Amino acid sequence: MINYTYIRQNFREAVHFLAVGSGDVRSRLIQANRALVHLKRVKIPDELQPDWDWIQKELNKFGSITRDDGSVFRGIS
């Protein structure tokens, strides 16, 4: 069973970070992503999955931030 209240709360938190979060836009995007990272695609309603896919693609289009040794500092490991 999908808990829509949990999903809505995560999106509200992400929107809050984007709208009034501290820092520059990159910092706010990182905060918003942290609010959404716990959600899985299968928990998103079918009619919203294309939008979810687009959000994930845009948030990750530049890949992970890596250290000099190539290990992941922030992003998809």
State the SS3 of 25-74.
HHHHHHHHHHHHCCCCHHHCCHHHHHHHHHHHHHHCCCCCEECCCCCEEE
What gap in Å lies between CA 54 and CA 56, rounded to an integer?
5
Per-residue pLDDT of the chain (77 residues; tens, 9 = 90+): 678 898 999 999 999 999 999 999 888 988 998 899 888 888 888 899 999 999 988 887 887 777 788 787 765 54
Helix (H) or strand (E) holding 20: helix 4-20
